[in-house]
């Protein structure tokens, strides 16, 4: 393949260039020298393939109209349809979606799933919207995205503040347009619509499978390790339960309302029931209350970051007192923080590996939908454990062989997969 001219530096500011996108690009650049892909491939992969910006009008329950900005970014379709979540959050913008879409590309490729990366979302405050308003928002957003969605084109899934119900509305809106039921248009949907067993738990359970594999390599049992978990939603809440089930001691957890800390170990099932009944951990009084900032700095063996991006930064990385940091969220550790944690000998289990359980079971769901043949829970759990162990071992080996951080090794492994495919296919035309 002929090399392309390096033109990107002459293009000025690109629409998706934000601090988070620059974080994704910096990680990519750090991995690139070890990935041995050609300059043309590297240049191509710096850009998301396609970005769609829409505006979504919604009639609120009180009769007023509001219009919300919505986004879908597809980073790479080299290995197959693009795949990734849809989030509802006040911080959603084009750069965030582009960064998260790029990470999805490396994540899918690292796990050897036949997908590229995508991400989308709507900038809104989902907690201020009623169920009716969320339904209207989701259905109109889906119809705005119709030209770029499809079971062989781009397959959404849940992400922050979206869930099985959101996926059911997307599936129904899409199916109504084509005239027949298309369960394989989304993953993470209700079981009754062709959702997969174990998808709901997959991201949080996968985080703990990766942590467990890491402790096997370190030669230390996971049982008895002291854990702090930031985020108590679908990732953190499940991960805390799985850690507890393996005999680890969860000493602190938090959500948007702040954290709860108890050195003797928290009762995770009581906390989950409380959060379910009350909508958050606010008011839970068994244990000492801490802020999210304080929680991150508690002494522990394992710190699970399962809230959102940009939590461990240059400012607080020096005060983190964990031995292992596991990224359940996407992008929770800044580039500066990564370097500080590395120098301090704190092992970071990177997002593209650690939270890949979700998209892996999404892949299983899509395969089951297409085949119209469904697997049982134990089979799915075992298949997920195999996939994560295989990816973990490849990353660990690469890190050892090339003297890389686990993050760089994970990205190198992902970039190599996409790079090899793109080199064989060539860049069109």
**Catalytic residue positions?**
119
Shortest Å distance, C-beta 225 to ligand GLU: 25
Could you say whether residue 76 binds ligand GLU (CB under 6 A)?
no
The kind and range of the H/E element at 62 are none
- Per DSSP, the three-state class of 116 is strand
Residue number with CB closer to ligand GLU (110 or 250): 110
Residue 382: count other Cβ atoms within 10 Å of its Cβ. Answer: 12
Could you say whether residue 44 binds ligand GLU (CB under 6 A)?
no
The region of 10-18, 71-79, 266-274, 357-365 touching ligand GLU under the rule CB under 6 A is 357-365
Shortest Å distance, C-beta 354 to ligand GLU: 10
Q: Which residues pair with 227 in a beta bridge?
A: 250, 302
Shortest Å distance, C-beta 343 to ligand GLU: 28
Interacting positions 362-381 with ligand GLU (CB under 6 A): 362
Could you say whether residue 74 binds ligand GLU (CB under 6 A)?
no
Interacting positions 153-182 with ligand GLU (CB under 6 A): 157, 159
Site string for ligand GLU, 311-330 (x = CB under 6 A): -------------------x
**Which spans in 229-316 are helix H?**
236-245, 268-278, 292-296
- Residue at token pair 């990224």: 327
- Per DSSP, the three-state class of 154 is strand
Shortest Å distance, C-beta 426 to ligand GLU: 27
Give the whole-angstrom CA distance, residue 388 versus residue 392: 6
Could you say whether residue 75 binds ligand GLU (CB under 6 A)?
no
Shortest Å distance, C-beta 173 to ligand GLU: 18
**Residue 328: closest CA among 313, 350, 312, 346:** 350
The region of 20-28, 120-128, 354-362, 410-418 touching ligand GLU under the rule CB under 6 A is 354-362
The size of the interface with ligand GLU (CB under 6 A), counted in residues, is 12
Helix axis angle, 377-402 to 94-110, nearest 10°: 90
Shortest Å distance, C-beta 284 to ligand GLU: 27
Give the whole-angstrom CA distance, residue 395 versus residue 402: 11
Give the whole-angstrom CA distance, residue 53 versus residue 73: 9
Q: Which residue is nearest to ligand GLU (CB)?
A: 85
| Cα–Cα distances in angstroms (integers) from residue 201 to residues 56, 63, 286, in the given order | 31, 38, 26
Could you say whether residue 233 binds ligand GLU (CB under 6 A)?
no
Residue number with CB closer to ligand GLU (111 or 296): 111
Q: Environment class of residue 69 by beta-carbon count within 10 Å: exposed (0-12), middle (13-18) or buried (19+)?
A: middle
Alpha carbons within 13 angstroms on the beta-carbon side of residue 239 total 36
Could you say whether residue 186 binds ligand GLU (CB under 6 A)?
no
Binding site for ligand GLU (CB under 6 A): 83-85, 157, 159, 187-188, 330, 355, 358-359, 362
């Amino acid at each position: 393949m002929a090399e392309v001219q390096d033109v990107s530096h002459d293009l000025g500011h690109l629409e998706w260039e934000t601090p988070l996108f620059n974080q994704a690009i910096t990680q990519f650049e750090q991995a690139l020298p070890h990935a041995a892909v050609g300059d043309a491939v590297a240049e191509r992969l710096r850009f998301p393939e396609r970005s769609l910006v829409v505006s979504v009008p919604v009639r609120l329950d009180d009769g007023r109209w509001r219009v919300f900005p919505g986004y879908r970014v597809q980073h790479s379709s080299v290995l197959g349809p693009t795949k990734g979540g849809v989030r509802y959050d006040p911080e959603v913008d084009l750069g965030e979606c582009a960064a998260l879409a790029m990470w999805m590309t490396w994540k899918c490729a690292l796990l050897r799933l036949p997908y590229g990366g995508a991400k989308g979302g709507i900038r809104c405050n989902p907690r201020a919207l009623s169920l009716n308003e969320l339904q209207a928002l989701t259905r109109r957003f889906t119809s705005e995205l119709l030209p770029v969605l499809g079971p062989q084109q781009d397959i959404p899934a849940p992400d922050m503040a979206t869930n099985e119900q959101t996926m059911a509305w997307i599936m129904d809106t899409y199916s109504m347009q084509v005239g027949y039921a298309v369960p394989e248009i989304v993953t993470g949907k209700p079981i009754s619509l062709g959702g997969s067993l174990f998808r709901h738990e997959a991201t949080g359970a996968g985080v703990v499978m990766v942590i467990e594999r890491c402790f096997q390599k370190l030669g230390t049992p996971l049982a008895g390790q002291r854990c702090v978990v930031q985020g108590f939603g679908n990732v953190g809440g499940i991960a805390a339960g799985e850690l507890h089930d393996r005999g680890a001691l969860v000493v602190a957890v938090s959500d948007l309302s702040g954290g709860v800390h108890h050195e003797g170990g928290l009762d995770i099932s009581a906390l989950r029931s409380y959060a379910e009944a009350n909508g958050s951990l606010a008011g839970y009084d068994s244990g000492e209350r801490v802020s999210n900032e304080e929680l991150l700095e508690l002494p522990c063996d394992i710190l699970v970051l399962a809230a959102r991006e940009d939590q461990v930064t240059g400012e607080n990385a020096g005060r983190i007192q964990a031995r292992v940091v596991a990224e359940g969220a996407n992008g929770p550790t800044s580039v500066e923080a990564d370097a500080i944690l590395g120098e301090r000998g704190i092992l970071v289990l990177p997002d593209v590996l650690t939270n890949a359980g979700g998209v892996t079971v999404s892949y299983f769901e899509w395969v089951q939908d297409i085949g119209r043949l469904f697997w049982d829970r134990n089979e799915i759990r075992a298949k997920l454990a195999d996939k994560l162990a295989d990816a973990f071992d490849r990353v660990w080996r690469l890190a050892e062989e090339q003297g890389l951080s686990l993050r760089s090794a994970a990205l190198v492994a992902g970039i190599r997969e996409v790079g090899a495919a793109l080199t064989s296919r060539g860049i069109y035309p």
